[in-house]
Each structure stands twice: as C-alpha cells, then as structure tokens.
Amino acid sequence: MTARGEQRAHARRALELPVLVDEMGNRVRGLIRFEARDLSLGGAFVRCDLLFEEGELLELTFALPEGRPIRARARVVRVARVPTEAEAGMGVAFEHLAEPDRAALCALLGSTTDPTGH
C-alpha cells in the first residue's frame, strides 16, 4: 500500500524525463513539454503547470535515459493542483504502448514480465 492508501499494479521508478504531450482533441495545437516522474508500465506522474482534466486522452512522447523514444497513448486519471498537493501535475495511465516500447520500458524498470500479461 502507498501513503495514499492504494496498491500499485506495476513497479514504479522515479525518473525525470522530458515529455512532449499532444492532446488528441482540438483544444491544444502543437506539443507541450512536461517532465515525467514516477514511471511504470501502467503510466506516469507528469509534472506540469498546465493541467488537463481527468479522462482526457493524450499522446505522449518521451526518450528513455539511453535515448530510445517511446510513444504512448495515455488517459489522465488524476490531477494534482497546488497548493493542496505537494507538486502540480497529472497521473496518466497508458492505454496503448507498442510492443517494442513496452519491452523497452520493462527492461528499464528491471521487469522481465509484465503482470498484465502483455
């Protein structure tokens, strides 16, 4: 259990990676640079001042520390706003990762198997 009282489905790793975000709707045109922290196979916490709403679908692009680019479709599942939260940002859940990207994340996170069966 975490301090917030929830159980994580995937092992997480604290990383600071620049993330380019493209909202899949019409509201945002172009890419926005955020920073991913707390990365897992299931998603990430993205630190940012521009917050999307829960349920919004985003296209994320980020590079792993060795430089391999990863593209993921993700849904916003939690929004942390200041001052009630320690750090402004969003929790996003990956809805689609190509198999090579999933394998690269598994390798980075030290996972030989994905508990979701992928």
What is the tens place of the pLDDT at every residue in 66-115?
Answer: 888 999 999 999 998 876 556 788 899 999 999 999 999 889 888 544 44
Q: Is residue 7 part of a domain?
A: no
Q: How many domains does the chain have?
A: 1
Q: Is the pTM of this model over 0.85?
A: no
Query: What's the token pair of residue 92?
Result: 């996003």
Q: What is the CA radius of gyration of the chain?
A: 14
Query: What's the token pair of residue 90?
Result: 């969003």
Return the CATH number at 32: 2.40.10.220
The predicted-structure confidence for 54-80, as pLDDT tens digits, reads as follows: 999 988 888 888 888 999 999 999 998
- Residue-range definition of the domain harbouring residue 95: 12-109
Q: Is residue 68 part of a domain?
A: yes
The three-class DSSP label of residue 16 is coil
